[in-house]
Structure 1
Amino acid sequence: MGTTQAGGGATVRRLLLGSQLRKLREARGVSREEAGYSIRASESKISRMELGRVGFKERDVADLLTLYGVDAEQERANVLGLVRDANATSWWHEYGDVLPTWFQNYLGLEEAAAEIRSYEVQFVHGLLQTPDYARAVITAGCQGHGVGPEEIERRVEVRLKRQDLLTTEHPPQLLAVLDEAALRRPWGGPELMQAQLDRLLELSELPNVRLQVLPLGTAGLSAESGAFSVLGFTEAELADVVYLEQFTTALYVDKPAEVAEYRQAMDGLAADSLSPERTRELLHSVRQEL
């Protein structure tokens, strides 16, 4: 059994620090533009800080606290103490050369989450992939982009390291709804897919993993927008986040009304999907057909 990753902890502290700064700013009636001016930064930089999407400089946070009227020494010390933890280096930092910033943000959220609810259409979820399946998918995605074998292997390493969080001391609850088409898409041939199906069967037995397949022939109207993930956190101050990966970037949705729609869509998908028990039966059946 693994240990809790430091990266997720740093992400939580960054999110908490950003949330705290936003509340202090709003309580003082200061605009983002005014806050940005006080630390020689843009309004969008303040927005990214408050969303926990960038690192923090202690000097900037100290200046913002002064602007927001936080003068009590202990209160300032408590907030500034979060800065160091929020800027802690995460394990994926050493893979910065092969990971876009928008995906590094996701890795932090994934490790910090207490609950991950995901719908996948094209592929098996990254947390559930075998090394060979991950390599086949990543290689196909890199074709025509001048990506060499070494970089592909480093990307595979990242995907496999992500999977450690499923067996940490306090793992997240994972609900993975998988379109049946993904099971029947022949990445790398029958043997590779048999091994991937075996892996899904193995992981589906974990107490914190609920795997359901949306069978072919099901309309799946709950998710006409395609794949998405909803990440939930233990900390009451942290709102759920919806992650939508696109071709060259990702969207992070955190407005409560929009997040509620995605949660409702996920509930609908889970209801339309096979139960975990029937999902395992289907996995065995697909494996025998290969």
Structure 2
Amino acid sequence: MGDATVGRRRLGIDLRRLREQQEMTNAQVARESGLSEATLSRIENGKRVVKPSELRVLMDLYKVTDAQQRERFAAMSRHTAEENWWDDYDDVLPSGLGSYVGLEAEADRLRSYHPSVIHALLATEDYARAVTRATLPASGVSQQHIDRLVELKVQRRQVLERRKPLRLWAILDEAALRRPAGGPEMMRAQFRHLVEMADRPNITVQVMPLSRGPHVGLVGPFTLIEFENPDDLDHVYVESPAGNLFLQKKPLVAEFRERFSLMSASALAPEDLEAFVSGIAKDLTE
């Protein structure tokens, strides 16, 4: 566990289990601890750091008397207060993205589908800049803001370069490849980069052709975030302009796993990627 985001979520899960073992509701804990129900919910969902004094109160309520167990929880709490490299981008991070980047940084594997754009970890800097600029409101956004967001996207790629690199399996809709960003030459460079990245042993890229018609991915973009440690619950990250969702309940995660499997079976085989994007590149006009 090398990241505070995952640590917060793991500690939250453990505290929820302890509360449930005592058959206590959030309302009961709130009355006896002095914490609000909203605060307890945020702690259990890994969205808030639990302070040492709060943790001691909760452990007392949940009858955690073993000294080693109490110290383990205290150590987890201290770790969750540590800063991460992406905290430097708090001034530009959209709501929910900081949590996502933290999970991405600790994940063993991502399985992702996007109907509109190329996955950020597979994007060139020029493509990322063009997409970032286009998707932000025209008014009130400075060039510095855009530059910082692009810098963040570039920094995120380090998960693909670490000693044990992230395994990434991306399904891209044909529409995402045909939508020009920054002009024909930029797109050709993006296609070359995509093929080069897909040649890595830890990266799989498939294309969902428009000719396949409607499919189970039409619900929108989503990412399965999967961990090697069984104590870290797998997540589904669902993107939305109105706010991003993190799903942890096993039936929901299983549903999206099934969606991804169905899409993978319907999409082009990974070895067809180069020929497919070469065909699109030939259709580009200056």
- What TM-score do you get using the length of structure 2 for normalisation? 0.95
Q: How many angstroms does 1:224 deviate by?
A: 2.2
Distance in 2 separating the partners of 1:36 and 1:235: 31
Q: How many angstroms does 1:41 deviate by?
A: 2.5
Name the counterpart of 2:46.
52
- Does 1:255 find its partner at 2:238? no
Q: Which moved more, 1:14-23 or 1:199-208?
A: 14-23
- Does 1:88 find its partner at 2:96? no
Name the counterpart of 2:36.
42
Q: Say if 2:18 and 2:62, in contact at 8 Å, map to a contact too.
A: yes
Task: Kindly provide the amino acid, as one letter, of the partner of residue 173 in structure 2.
Answer: D
Q: Say if 1:220 and 1:272, in contact at 8 Å, map to a contact too.
A: no
Task: Kindly provide the amino acid, as one letter, of the partner of residue 247 in structure 2.
Answer: V
Task: Kindly provide the amino acid, as one letter, of the partner of residue 249 in structure 1.
Answer: G
Distance in 2 separating the partners of 1:97 and 1:206: 34
Distance in 2 separating the partners of 1:241 and 1:198: 31
Q: Which moved more, 1:116-125 or 1:19-28?
A: 19-28
Distance in 2 separating the partners of 1:39 and 1:94: 33
Distance in 1 separating the partners of 2:171 and 2:69: 44
- Alpha carbons of 1:216 and 1:10: their partners in 2 closer, same or farther (altered >3 Å)? same
Distance in 2 separating the partners of 1:101 and 1:244: 13
Structure 1 residue runs of 4 or more that deviate by more than 6 Å after TM superposition: none
Name the counterpart of 2:224.
230
Task: Kindly provide the amino acid, as one letter, of the partner of residue 71 in structure 2.
Answer: A
Q: Say if 1:11 and 1:52, in contact at 8 Å, map to a contact too.
A: yes
Q: How does 1:1-290 map to 2 (within 5 A)?
A: 9-290=3-284
Deviation per residue, 1:120-144 (Å, 9 max, x gap): 1110011111111111111111233
Q: Say if 2:220 and 2:239, in contact at 8 Å, map to a contact too.
A: no
Distance in 2 separating the partners of 1:70 and 1:252: 29
* Structure 1 gaps, min length 5: 1-5
Distance in 2 separating the partners of 1:35 and 1:169: 43
Deviation per residue, 1:156-205 (Å, 9 max, x gap): 00011111111111222111000011111011100110111011011001
Distance in 2 separating the partners of 1:255 and 1:78: 25
SS at match of 2:172: strand
SS at match of 2:96: helix
- What TM-score do you get using the length of structure 1 for normalisation? 0.94
Deviation per residue, 1:93-117 (Å, 9 max, x gap): 1111111341111111111211101
Task: Kindly provide the amino acid, as one letter, of the partner of residue 262 in structure 1.
Answer: F
Task: Kindly provide the amino acid, as one letter, of the partner of residue 160 in structure 2.
Answer: L
Task: Kindly provide the amino acid, as one letter, of the partner of residue 245 in structure 1.
Answer: E
Q: How many angstroms does 1:221 deviate by?
A: 1.6
Number of equivalences? 284
SS at match of 1:230: strand
Deviation per residue, 1:40-82 (Å, 9 max, x gap): 3222322221121222211111110010001222211111011
Distance in 1 separating the partners of 2:282 and 2:100: 36
Q: Say if 2:108 and 2:166, in contact at 8 Å, map to a contact too.
A: yes
Task: Kindly provide the amino acid, as one letter, of the partner of residue 176 in structure 1.
Answer: A
Distance in 1 separating the partners of 2:26 and 2:219: 32
SS at match of 1:259: helix
Task: Kindly provide the amino acid, as one letter, of the partner of residue 271 in structure 2.
Answer: E
Distance in 2 separating the partners of 1:48 and 1:165: 27
SS at match of 1:99: coil
Determine what percentage of the aligned residue pairs are the same residue.
37
SS at match of 1:52: coil
Distance in 2 separating the partners of 1:54 and 1:207: 37
SS at match of 1:224: helix
